[in-house]
Amino acid sequence: SDTISLKKTVLIKKIDGGEFIGEIISNDDREILIETKTTIGRLYISKSDISSISFINVKEKKQNETGEFRAEGPFTTRYYFTNNALPIKKGENYALINLFGPEVHFAVSDKLSLGVIASWIGSPVTLVSKLSVLSKNNLHFSICNIIGSSGYLAQGRVFGGLHWGTLTIGDRMRNISFSAGYGYFNDNSYTFNTPNQDALFLGLGGIAPIGEKACFIVDGMLISNTKDNPYYDESISYNGYRNRTDQTITNTTLILMPGMRFYKSYAKAFQISLAGVFFKDNSQTTEYYNNGINYEIGETISFPVPTISWLRKF
């Protein structure tokens, strides 16, 4: 309210879960201006976004200052690789520097962000969008899309897309997300020995604070991928090899990415993940009979993918 005293240190909790510690500089009917003690500096907060304001003592202030950028900030809308459904904030643009290449994401409004993901050689390249549909208390929902092309590699004849929805429960400091979507892949150059593939996938992600300037992140995807069988031969009814008699093949991939994010400031963070990939290759499945029992053996491939990346606000 307007009776809030100036020059007092307060804890402001927002409806979306964000929290700020700061000294009140000004207060009017629409917004409050506070002076934070991190690199955010002065910050205007609309009163319609505030759920509560409480005064804090010096000890509480010291304990909470370091957490401001984890409770708000441009990096709170994603995990290691996938995103959550928390709404983006206009002007909170950020870049992600990965080992394979850069990402850049622009917040064009408080609900919509657009981005570009590419390799260091500029191909392949993808366009990304995220639209926040619902954000009320600790329940959030978003719709996301990725459209990509091989670029100058394969003369741009390889392209695909991924479309999914994400439900997030929690606030910016601590949350869990469930995702489901559909993807497709077309290879008109036959670079990958199969022209068409599509996939259904499920995702699970979460984040929780650890200490003053770190968070634990878990990111995972289960992908069921169906593609045309390049070895299909309609003249063969059965020869012991399933990969010759099925017109399509469905493979399964599980990606687990537990990791840590370390915050240096509101505008800088570093993250590392010890990812693992488990791939069931049914194109190599054989069938045989033993004592009247039909056995199928599919090759399972697993390998680690340790990854690091840097996040920067601009």
Distance of CA 19 to the CA centre of its chain: 22
Which residue, among 77, 89, 13, 214, has the nearest Cα to 22 in the 3D structure? 13
Which H or E run contains 313?
strand 293-313
How much is the pLDDT for 297?
56
d(CA 83, CA 179): 9
Alpha helices in the chain, H assignment, sequence order: 58-65, 242-245
Residue in this structure with the two tokens 């990346």, named with its chain if needed: 309
Cis peptide before 124 (omega within 30 of 0): yes
The C-alpha atoms of residue 155 and residue 189 are separated, in whole angstroms, by: 8
Residue burial 151-175, b: 16+ Cβ < 10 Å; e: rest: bebbeeebbbbbebebbbbbbbbbb
Q: Which residues of the chain have pLDDT under 70?
A: 1-7, 16-17, 37-40, 56-72, 189-195, 230-231, 233-245, 283-298
Residue that is written with structure tokens 């699970």 in the block: 204
pLDDT value of residue 1: 42
pLDDT per position as a tens digit, 165-193: 999 999 888 999 999 999 998 887 666 55
Cβ contact 2:33 at 8 Å: no
Note whether 217 and 261 are within 8 A (CB). yes
Residue 18 structure tokens: 């964000």
Residue matched to tokens 């029992």: 293
At residue 287, the pLDDT reads 55
Q: What is the Cα–Cα distance from 212 to 70, expressed in whole angstroms?
A: 9
Rounded CA separation 124/114 (Å): 17
Residue 231 CA to residue 51 CA, distance in Å, equals: 61
d(CA 275, CA 306): 5
Residue 181 has which token pair? 């979507």
Which pLDDT score, from 0 to 100, does residue 11 have? Answer: 79
Helix ranges restricted to H, 205-308: 242-245
Report the pLDDT value the prediction gives residue 66, as an integer from 0 to 100: 45
Task: Measure CA 281 to chain center.
Answer: 26
Q: Any idea what DSSP says for residue 278?
A: E
- Quote the pTM value: 0.73
Q: Which residue in the block uniquely carries the two structure tokens 């500029």?
A: 122
At residue 242, the pLDDT reads 55
- In angstroms and rounded to an integer, the radius of gyration of the C-alpha atoms of the chain is 24
